Chain A
Amino acid sequence: MADRQHAAELVVRATQLAQNLPHDYELREPKARLIARLEAERHRPWYRKRAAKLTALAGGVVLVAGVLATGVTLGWFGSTTVTETTASQTNADNTVTTRYDEPNANQQAETPDYGREQLLAELPDQSKLLQKGNRIVLLATNQETELLRLGTNEHTGAVTKDDVVLLFVGGDSSREGERIYKFNSTSRTLQILPTGGNVMNVAVWKPDRTYVVLTLLSRTERQSEGGAGQELVLTTLAYEWETLTPTVLDTAQGAPGQMQANGKWLVSTAGNEVRVRNSIDGEWRLLTQEMNDAIEPGQRYVAGNNLYFLTGRPYDFMNPELKEMPDAPRVQQLDLLTGELRETLPDVPGEQNVIGAWFGQEMKLAFDLLITNFRPSGRSADALGRMQQLGQFTLYGLDSRGIHVLYQGESTRQEAFYAFWNDGKTLVRTQSQNPERPGLTLIYDEQQQKFVSGPLPANHPLAQGKAVRQ
């Protein structure tokens, strides 16, 4: 320590000495030489002064011309090669005539969207679709949980599994017979989801490999003493994916934010009752009353076989004083298999050190918890805090590798998917909601105090040499 202090003093002293070196009198001669040179420069003709720039300009022009000439030549050869194959015949006098046809107009037509024709052929109600004049662009992706709007709002598609698409056809309230289809482009099968009414609108909340949870706005006929009428009903349904068996969730509340599906678990909240349903035995289990009392409605998240939830007062980002209060939120973990309840330790790496929370009907991250657990350093917390001030994070997924979120800034251009990796320092910017398809990997640099590009985290499938689903 003493050595370091001495070194610091010596650096200061040496710097002070350097402030006057070389002395001004030593610089007189170089300065005089420079002024003489400047005088000489003043009298040089302009083209000599700019000789270097002119040479560079000429070089640039030659380079561009060369590139253009090469491109034109290659293009000419390419077009000749194609057209020569179209027609060539040997005449009677042994001369060869080559006919250069114009490209076929059909070949230039727009390539149909993937699966469009197939879907139109297999949809039972295609005449209706065609009458509406809507163009179906079938989503040819393998990304999970993607919610797309097709054209106008009249068609909604959601990709839920590989090559499987949920397609909602409808939206026109004056028409009947709107349906939700499950289309499997691999097996080329189309199934209609039982909805129990005429669906007017649909929101896909939690597409999952086991369940898909939908909120349906449907119209049903109502018979009463005053006569027949129509009633609009908002229903939340969880469909078991393979059998398409619907389970009605929370009809009374009808709030889509009140249920979750994750893996084989369905979690539903009605009032203060939290019920979980295991898809294996199909039974609903009611959590104990004291557990129900402890859980703030809506603030929980399922990951693996664990249910995480917040206890205590809900977070209020606008009121930082809440952090200091004794009943500040704590993260609790309930093992759904064993029923064991324990409080998570923020500094233990793994899936239990992160949690998503629900706030009303919107999914948002309990950001303070995220910061506390994502990175122990205060600096990255500041950086994330700044991001949070600028935009909003929407939780998309949580697993043992980290949190996957959609970041939405002030404008749509600032939308990006991120994965906060559980190694504690990596923020992966992904190309989509699928964290296995990374776009840009960012690592927090302590010295620069910002995220810089870096390698993939060690536990990333690509870093481990595993193939990522395409």
Chain B
Amino acid sequence: MREQTADAFRELVNAYYGDVYRYVQGTVGAGLAERLTADALVQASQQFVTYRGEVGYKVWLLAAVHQQVHSGWRQLWRKRKLEQVAVPVQDVQNAQEPLRAEQQSLDERERHLLCTELEQAMAKLPVKARCAYVLRHVLGLSVAETGIILLLTDGKVRTLEEQALDLLQREFEGRNVRWQIDNMQQSS
């Protein structure tokens, strides 16, 4: 029985690792994403015996990971960790070395710029709003599923989502991203 549960959980990890990783990366940042994802999923594997099928596998997994990653004490611990270790060595090794500007096509440079700007803007959002935005817009979950994961009502999820969108748009506006892209196109 225990073996079967472990096998089932491994299948789950196989299927949904990408989503979980993107969620953690989107809400915490790329720096500690792999380590936190792994820790959270290991914890979730021990809780998997309590799964009763009330929600889908993906939602359950994301809810378990959210609880692990975003509980108050863990955030405090992570903040201290981040202060001690700016970027983990492993992540530096795994990080892809960005191509030099002249090696990148215009499209790639534009994409890179947009992704960087989004990451920086997301970092300025309140945690809950960030979580709601990633779940709704990056992972494409429904309002109800997002509410289950974040333990919030549908109305609250919508409010957070709107708040996040509004703040992101303001950030993009303030950073003149459009102007940067236009500039890039003219110079090429």
* Chain A interfacial positions (CB closer than 8 Å to B): 3-4, 6-8, 10-11, 13-15, 17-19, 21-22, 24, 26-27, 29-31, 33-35, 37-38, 41-42, 49, 447-449
Query: Is the pair B21, A35 in contact by a Cβ cutoff of 8 Å?
Result: no
State which of B25, B42, B159 has its C-beta within 8 Å of the C-beta of A38: B42
Name the A residues within 8 Å of B140 (CB-CB).
19
State which of B34, B41, B46, B163 has its C-beta within 8 Å of the C-beta of A447: B163
Q: Which 6 A-B pairs have the closest CB atoms?
A: A14-B118, A7-B172, A7-B173, A14-B114, A6-B178, A7-B169
Query: Of all chain B residues, which has the CB nearest A41?
Result: B42
Query: Is the pair B38, A448 in contact by a Cβ cutoff of 8 Å?
Result: no
Query: Is the pair A27, B118 in contact by a Cβ cutoff of 8 Å?
Result: no
State which of A7, A18, A34 has its C-beta within 8 Å of the C-beta of B38: A34
Name the A residues within 8 Å of B170 (CB-CB).
7
Query: Is the pair B17, A10 in contact by a Cβ cutoff of 8 Å?
Result: no
CB distance from A56 to the nearest CB of B (A): 11
How far is it, in angstroms, between the C-alpha of A155 and the C-alpha of B40 when the chains are bound? 64
Name the B residues within 8 Å of A448 (CB-CB).
156, 159
Name the B residues within 8 Å of A7 (CB-CB).
169-170, 172-173, 177-178
Query: Is the pair B13, A15 in contact by a Cβ cutoff of 8 Å?
Result: no
Check B143 for interface membership: any CB of A closer than 8 A.
no
Query: Is the pair A30, B38 in contact by a Cβ cutoff of 8 Å?
Result: yes
Binary per-residue interface labels of chain B (36-74) against chain A in the complex, 1 for a CB within 8 Å, 0 otherwise: 011001100110000000000000000000000000000
Q: Can you report 6 A-B residue pairs in the complex whose CB atoms are below 8 A from each other?
A: A6-B178, A11-B118, A30-B21, A34-B38, A38-B42, A449-B159
Query: Of all chain B residues, which has the CB nearest A30?
Result: B34
Check B85 for interface membership: any CB of A closer than 8 A.
no
Q: How large is the interface on B (under 10, 10 to 19, 20 to 34, 35 or more residues)?
A: 35 or more
How far is it, in angstroms, between the C-alpha of A57 and the C-alpha of B60 when the chains are bound? 27
Check B187 for interface membership: any CB of A closer than 8 A.
no
* Chain B interfacial positions (CB closer than 8 Å to A): 6, 9-10, 13-14, 17-18, 21-22, 25-26, 34, 37-38, 41-42, 45-46, 94, 96, 111, 114-115, 117-118, 121, 137-140, 155-156, 159, 163, 165, 168-170, 172-173, 177-178, 181
Interface of A: prevailing SS = helix
How far is it, in angstroms, between the C-alpha of A26 and the C-alpha of B25 when the chains are bound? 13
Query: Is the pair A15, B137 in contact by a Cβ cutoff of 8 Å?
Result: yes
Could you count the A-B residue pairs with CB atoms below 8 Å apart for me: how many are there? 97
Query: Is the pair B42, A30 in contact by a Cβ cutoff of 8 Å?
Result: no
State which of A24, A29, A41, A449 has its C-beta within 8 Å of the C-beta of B18: A24
How far is it, in angstroms, between the C-alpha of A4 and the C-alpha of B155 when the chains are bound? 25
CB distance from A44 to the nearest CB of B (A): 11
Given A24-B18, A447-B163, A37-B115 contact (CB < 8 Å): no
Query: Is the pair A35, B13 in contact by a Cβ cutoff of 8 Å?
Result: yes
Name the A residues within 8 Å of B163 (CB-CB).
447
Query: Of all chain A residues, which has the CB nearest B162?
Result: A447
Name the A residues within 8 Å of B169 (CB-CB).
4, 7-8, 11
Query: Is the pair B10, A38 in contact by a Cβ cutoff of 8 Å?
Result: yes
State which of A18, A33, A449 has its C-beta within 8 Å of the C-beta of B155: A449
Query: Is the pair B25, A22 in contact by a Cβ cutoff of 8 Å?
Result: yes
Name the A residues within 8 Å of B177 (CB-CB).
7, 10
Name the A residues within 8 Å of B165 (CB-CB).
8, 11
Query: Is the pair B178, A3 in contact by a Cβ cutoff of 8 Å?
Result: yes
Query: Of all chain B residues, which has the CB nearest A49?
Result: B46
State which of A18, A29, A33, A41 has its C-beta within 8 Å of the C-beta of B138: A18
State which of A3, A14, A18, A38 has its C-beta within 8 Å of the C-beta of B173: A3
Query: Is the pair B17, A34 in contact by a Cβ cutoff of 8 Å?
Result: yes
Name the B residues within 8 Å of A35 (CB-CB).
10, 13-14
CB distance from B110 to the nearest CB of A (A): 9
Query: Is the pair B172, A37 in contact by a Cβ cutoff of 8 Å?
Result: no
How far is it, in angstroms, between the C-alpha of A244 and the C-alpha of B111 when the chains are bound? 86
Query: Is the pair A31, B17 in contact by a Cβ cutoff of 8 Å?
Result: yes
State which of B9, B94, B178 has its C-beta within 8 Å of the C-beta of A10: B178
Query: Of all chain B residues, which has the CB nearest A13?
Result: B114
Query: Is the pair B42, A37 in contact by a Cβ cutoff of 8 Å?
Result: yes
Name the A residues within 8 Å of B6 (CB-CB).
38, 42
CB distance from B42 to the nearest CB of A (A): 6
Name the B residues within 8 Å of A18 (CB-CB).
22, 26, 115, 118, 138
